[in-house]
Amino acid sequence: MSTTAQSDAPIYERLIRERGDVAADARKTAEAAWREVGRAMDFRLPHTITTHDLSPR
């Protein structure tokens, strides 16, 4: 939700002005954590060189 858009929830808009958009901040933090976990938990096996890889094409 944009803080500049008018809505039917003036209390929510006031809270965002006073405290910041906690939901948007939490979403950004969760997305960053998800990316970091994806990098840390990369369980793909390393590529193994086989005789097929070494044969001329």
**Domain-by-domain residue ranges, the chain?**
1-41
Helix (H, G, I), strand (E, B) or coil at 20: coil
Longest dimension (CA), the chain: 70
How much is the pLDDT for 28? 97
Q: Which residues of the chain have pLDDT under 50?
A: 1, 3
How much is the pLDDT for 42? 73
Residue 16 region by backbone torsions, left for phi larger than 0, else alpha for psi between -120 and 50, else beta: alpha
pTM over 0.75: no
